[in-house]
Amino acid sequence: MNSWNTPGYRGGLPGRRDPVQKRIVAMSIAVSAALLVIVCQLWYLQVLEGGRFQEASDKNRIRIRPIAAPRGILFDRNGLPLVDNRPAFTLSLIPRELERDPDKRDATLGRLAVLLQIPFQELVDAVAKVSSDSFLPVRIRRGLSIADMQKVEEWKLELPGVIVEVEPQRVYPNSRFAAHLLGYVREASDEQLKQGRYRRGDMVGQTGLERLLDEFLRGKDGGERIEVDAMGRPVRLVQSTEPNPGAQVVTTVNRRVQEVAEKLMEGKTGAVVVMDPRNGDVLAMVSTPAFEIDRFTGAIDRDAWLRVMKDPDFPLLNRTIQSQYPPGSVFKMVLTAAGLQEGTLTPADRVHCQGEFPFGGRVFRDWKKEGHGSVDLMGAVAQSCDIFFYGAGLKVGAPAMTKYAAAFGFGIATGIELGTERFGLIPAPKSPRKGKPPVWHPGETVNMSIGQGQLLATPMQIARFMSAIANGGVLWKPRLVQRIERPERGVVWSDAGTVNGHVELNPAVWAFLRQSMWAVVNTTNGTGIAARIPGLDIAGKTGTAQTIANSKSEKGQDHAWFASFAPVRDPEVVIVVLVERGGHGGSVAAPIARAIYNAIFFEKVASLDISG
Amino acid sequence: MIVLGRIDRRLLQNVDWPLLGAMGGLVILSATTLASLHIGRAGGNVAFRQLAWFAVGLCALVVVASIDYRRLVRLGPLFFLLGLIGLASVFVMGRSVSGARRWILIGPMSVQPSEVFKICFVLMATWVLTSRWAQPVGKMTLALTAPVLVVPALLIVKQPDLGTALLLFPVLTALLVGAGIRLRLLGGAALAGVSALPLVWFLAMKEYQRERILVFLDPFRDPLGSAYNVIQAKIAIGSGQLLGKGVAGATQSRLAFLPERHTDFIFAVFAETWGFVGCLVLLTCYALLLLRGFDIAATSREPVGRLIALGVTALFATQVLVNVGMVTGLLPVVGVPLPLMSYGGTSMLVSLIGLGLLLSVRMRQFQ
């Protein structure tokens, strides 16, 4: 440290030092002083306190126990919890505390395997995955039964490095409650660990809102630093940090409506969307069959997983936004709007329907074999007369139809932030040959008029379309989350709703659309009569979408639609029901919607009679 | 060696042997410490690789020392650009180790571009400060150096490698002081920089990034992370006592209570094994090396040589002080290696290139 006086320094520098040289000397003195401080610290640590540290090193038995932070709770719009936490036992291994000798370690693991009937290989693999120096617990089984927990405690002395932790775990009102909406929570996968945001064993939202809001819902884990004696018994708590629970989320969902809708869809394959047309709030979102969310969360239940993966009905699919269907006769409302606004249709147009529509060397048929007789536009909507709309479609034309479909949000993402959303499809004109300008095939236009052919939409898109009719043309981005609150900081995020589309129509056209949909439900030969509730003016449209592969098969192979809103004068609720391969929209989907309206407007929770 | 053949004999007379002696001493201490750790399947594997890298680095040192440093500084912008590309490439083809993308693979080697960048930074900063636009040294000079600091600092923070990014500040400060900037101006700039921090904090950073910084400032916020390292390092150092436990007795290190024990926390291993006396030897080596570096800067008679020597010395000094300060519990935990001691090929190579630059300045000081 006294190289200062080496001959090189002064010898190389005859004469006076310039100011910068003085500065460099000052810097070297500062660095020397800093080194001296370090030497003092070393003197303190090694000489003055050395004995104490020697002791600490002799029995270096400081253990770390993480304390998992409870995930934030999701509430419905009325403050009822959609999901909650309860303490659960987790079996963990602490690599650092396992026996260092491989044979002794395997003996411990073998004992544990026999005790709790866990495959031995699983334990070995879990230990092999992490560094043997790690103090962080490796989670083996979550949701341990009390009996198993007691077994481990009894054998504690024979099982060094094995512990039972208490961790908060998700609980749901019932096994499949809002499974697609909430999503399941799982230990971070290897893929997610690579991103570096998570530690091994962290619980991470994998789908639905749990995934979307994971950053908010996950709290900050706390921890304890414990000194233990040679036997591994805790002697002293050195330091402890409380866990910080995650943020609370207030959703737009109405738990009661969600439950009612789920109950009604039990045993059926399909989707229900309940929306507030005034602001795009999603009140309920049901997709069936649902997966057992409680078995998917936390402990990895191999059986439940395999069953779901093998299920031909794809329970993991959120049918409200990830499945697209031909909209069927629901699309007639787009055609009606287009025709009236463009002037190609008038309410006075009248057709005599005999059940057949010969066109282009082909006969297009009505869903009702014998036909509807003489119908005007209002009657055609109410009775869903296909023959009327085949002709109307040709009059209005495919370009106008697709233009209005796009305006009403067909073929475009609704913007809901919940996993990958499908966009649906509006057909485009095709070139007959390469290089020729694209043209519409008239047969396709006829098909499109009743919502068949290539046209596809998700139930969420249909709900948004219905909301636009109900509220006079505003397309809301479906809203799921109202606000996020942290206990100590109040609201940290909120969403006032976003409009992401607008449809301009003549007020008379809006009035006609609503009135004709009212007629669907409230006139004697309307197709949606099954949804009628005396005392509530429901407007709706039925749809029976033929699946392409089964266009000629019997009833029961068609998708049943019912898209509706109420009350018709000042709409508060939009309900869209889709039952896959359910049959007629009027007889299958409409009664489900009716029961949901009943529950919303008349509080008749107990009587869920959907027979009529 | 063609390069050597051209070297003027007078140059060889001015080789700084004390500097090289300090370097040799440190590398020997490093290799023996690493050899005692038995990391990897074959014991001594790490020590052997460290020595192999030292050999490679020694070649680099000779090449760098034989080139006139003024030619290297003239290429400063090019090195700087290459360094930036290296930093950016980490995001494209980087290899992620425990959440940080700091390495890229070149053939069979993994290289840490932020290490290489340290030298590029010194060259570029010297180039800027000695360029004619920077004269006279004043506000304009500060404005010119700001992007040289900020652009790479942002890229490195993104990796995230906060330690390396923070190193750039003292190095640049030392260079500005050495370039003769008025201290009041420098203080003003530092004050302005500090007062801009809250803006960055609240506007530009996400919550988890803020959390990361808070943990960095106060390791006890994260009870499972860095606080543990510090406690274990203190136990290791303290239990070494006056004379150390010797290789066989160093249980803290050998039983792997110490994390990162062959890289950032190697000083703790050394202190446990050789005690206070050993630490004095080690620190004397560093003191010798640093004071020779300052001496080379002070005796250099032209600004380019002075600044390059000062920059390299400041780089070494900051790394040594921050690393040892962190391991002994004087400073918060930052990922900064101990030059010449910590295991790491890129770090070794870059340290020796830096020493090569110092030698180059010393050898040409009387021309």
pLDDT reported for residue A9:
36
The one-character DSSP state at A46 is I
The answer to whether the Cβ–Cβ distance between A54 and B251 falls below 8 Å is no
Please give the Cα distance from A452 to B180 (Å, whole number). Answer: 81
The one-character DSSP state at B256 is T
pLDDT reported for residue A554:
45
pLDDT reading at B228 higher than 90: no
pLDDT reported for residue A176:
87
| B345: enclosing H helix or E strand | helix B345-363
Three-class SS state of B225: coil
Cβ proximity of A407 and A454 under 8 Å: no
Q: Where are the beta strands (DSSP E) in A487-546?
A: 490-494, 499-502, 539-545
pLDDT reading at A2 higher than 50: no
pLDDT reading at B320 higher than 90: yes
User: Is the domain of A475 the same as that of A364?
Assistant: yes
User: Is the domain of A40 the same as that of A92?
Assistant: no
Q: Which has the minimum average pLDDT: A161-175, A263-277, B42-56, B284-298? A: B42-56
User: Is the domain of A339 the same as that of A482?
Assistant: yes
Q: Which of B180, B271, B294 sits opposite A20 (nearest CB)?
A: B180
Q: In angstroms, what separates the C-alpha of B221 from chain A's closest C-alpha?
A: 8
User: Is the domain of A134 the same as that of A26?
Assistant: no
User: Is the domain of A302 the same as that of A204?
Assistant: no
The whole-number average pLDDT for the span A492-511 is 92
The whole-number average pLDDT for the span A41-53 is 86
Max intra-chain CA distance, chain A: 119
CB pairs under 8 A between A and B: 175
Residue pLDDT, tens place only, B107-116: 566 778 888 8
Which residues, other chains included, contact A31 with Cβ-Cβ below 8 Å and sequence gap of 6+? B290, B294, B317, B321
Q: Which residues of B touch A197 (CB under 8 A)?
A: 99, 208
Residue pLDDT, tens place only, A354-392: 888 988 888 888 888 888 999 999 999 999 999 999 999
ipTM for the predicted complex comes to: 0.88
Q: What does the angle CA A227 – CA A229 – CA A233 come to, to the nearest 5 degrees?
A: 85
Query: Could you tell me which chain B residue has the CA closest to the CA of A41?
Result: B328
Q: For residue A423, how many other CB atoms are within 10 A of its CB?
A: 17
The answer to whether the Cβ–Cβ distance between B310 and A24 falls below 8 Å is yes
Tokens of residue B2, six digits: 């063609």
Burial classification of residue A57, based on how many CB atoms lie within 10 Å of its CB (0-12 exposed, 13-18 middle, 19 or more buried): buried
Last residue of a domain, one of A191, A223, A248: A248
Q: In angstroms, what separates the C-alpha of A198 from chain B's closest C-alpha?
A: 9
Q: Which of B255, B299, B317 sits opposite A13 (nearest CB)?
A: B299
User: Is the domain of A173 the same as that of A109?
Assistant: yes
Question: Given the structure tokens 């995230």, which residue do they identify?
Answer: B160
Q: Which residues of B touch A62 (CB under 8 A)?
A: 231
Give A6's pLDDT tier (boundaries 50, 70, 90).
very low
Alpha-carbon Rg for chain B, nearest whole angstrom, is 21
Check which CATH number belongs to the domain holding A123 and give it.
Answer: 3.90.1310.10
pLDDT reading at A299 higher than 50: yes
pLDDT reading at A570 higher than 60: yes
pLDDT reported for residue B321:
94
A294: in domain: yes
Q: For residue A506, how many other CB atoms are within 10 A of its CB?
A: 12
A-interface mutation test, from B130, B173, B257, B291, most A Cβ less than 10 A away: B291
Q: In angstroms, what separates the C-alpha of A293 from chain B's closest C-alpha?
A: 29
User: Is the domain of A213 the same as that of A262?
Assistant: no
Looking at the structure of chain A, the number of domains it has is 3
Q: Which has the minimum average pLDDT: A241-250, B126-135, B202-211? A: B202-211
The whole-number average pLDDT for the span A75-83 is 92
A-interface mutation test, from B14, B137, B231, B295, most A Cβ less than 10 A away: B295
A607: in domain: no
Residue pLDDT, tens place only, A419-463: 789 999 999 888 877 778 888 888 889 999 999 988 999 999 999
Burial classification of residue B205, based on how many CB atoms lie within 10 Å of its CB (0-12 exposed, 13-18 middle, 19 or more buried): middle
The answer to whether the Cβ–Cβ distance between B242 and A52 falls below 8 Å is no
A579: in domain: yes
Residue pLDDT, tens place only, B261-272: 777 888 988 998
Q: Which residues of A touch B276 (CB under 8 A)?
A: 42-43, 46-47
The whole-number average pLDDT for the span A563-569 is 94
Residue pLDDT, tens place only, B176-206: 998 888 888 888 888 888 888 787 777 666 6
Please give the Cα distance from B87 to B94 (Å, whole number). Answer: 9
A612: in domain: no
Last residue of a domain, one of A227, A248, A269: A248
pLDDT reading at B41 higher than 80: no
User: Is the domain of A239 the same as that of A259?
Assistant: no
Stated length of chain A: 612
User: Is the domain of A216 the same as that of A330?
Assistant: no
Q: Which residues of B touch A225 (CB under 8 A)?
A: 223, 228
Burial classification of residue A502, based on how many CB atoms lie within 10 Å of its CB (0-12 exposed, 13-18 middle, 19 or more buried): exposed
B-interface mutation test, from A35, A130, A192, most B Cβ less than 10 A away: A35
Q: What does the angle CA B145 – CA B146 – CA B148 come to, to the nearest 5 degrees?
A: 65
Q: Which residues of B touch A1 (CB under 8 A)?
A: 283-284, 287-288, 291
Please give the Cα distance from B134 to B127 (Å, whole number). Answer: 10
Q: For residue A37, how many other CB atoms are within 10 A of its CB?
A: 13
Q: In angstroms, what separates the C-alpha of A555 from chain B's closest C-alpha?
A: 55
Give A16's pLDDT tier (boundaries 50, 70, 90).
low
Last residue of a domain, one of A188, A218, A248: A248
Query: Could you tell me which chain B residue has the CA closest to the CA of A96?
Result: B257
Check which CATH number belongs to the domain holding A569 and give it.
Answer: 3.40.710.10
User: Is the domain of A207 the same as that of A260?
Assistant: no
The answer to whether the Cβ–Cβ distance between A19 and B292 falls below 8 Å is no
A150: in domain: yes
Q: Which of B99, B180, B257 sits opposite A196 (nearest CB)?
A: B99
Q: Which of B241, B283, B314 sits opposite A35 (nearest CB)?
A: B283
Average pLDDT of the residues of chain A: 86
The answer to whether the Cβ–Cβ distance between B18 and A12 falls below 8 Å is no
Give A548's pLDDT tier (boundaries 50, 70, 90).
low
Please give the Cα distance from B31 to B49 (Å, whole number). Answer: 9
A81: in domain: yes
Domain range for A368 is 255-602
User: Is the domain of A283 the same as that of A306?
Assistant: yes
A-interface mutation test, from B17, B241, B269, most A Cβ less than 10 A away: B241
Q: Which of B237, B259, B292 sits opposite A3 (nearest CB)?
A: B292
Q: Long-range contacts for A147-155 (Cβ within 8 Å, ≥24 apart)?
A: A148/A89, A148/A91, A148/A116, A149/A89, A151/A115, A151/A116, A152/A91, A152/A112, A152/A115, A152/A116, A155/A111, A155/A115
User: Is the domain of A336 the same as that of A206?
Assistant: no
Cα-based distances in Å from A434 to A431, A445, B111: 6, 21, 53
Between these two residues, B126 and B155, which has the higher pLDDT value? B126
pLDDT reported for residue B143:
85
The answer to whether the Cβ–Cβ distance between B237 and A21 falls below 8 Å is no
Residues pairing with A187 in the sheet: A203
Q: Which residues of A touch B258 (CB under 8 A)?
A: none
Q: How far is CA A555 from the centre of its chain?
A: 33
The whole-number average pLDDT for the span B122-143 is 86
A609: in domain: no
Please give the Cα distance from A547 to A557 (Å, whole number). Answer: 7
Cβ proximity of A547 and A556 under 8 Å: no
The whole-number average pLDDT for the span B307-323 is 94
What share of chain A has pLDDT > 90, as a percent?
48
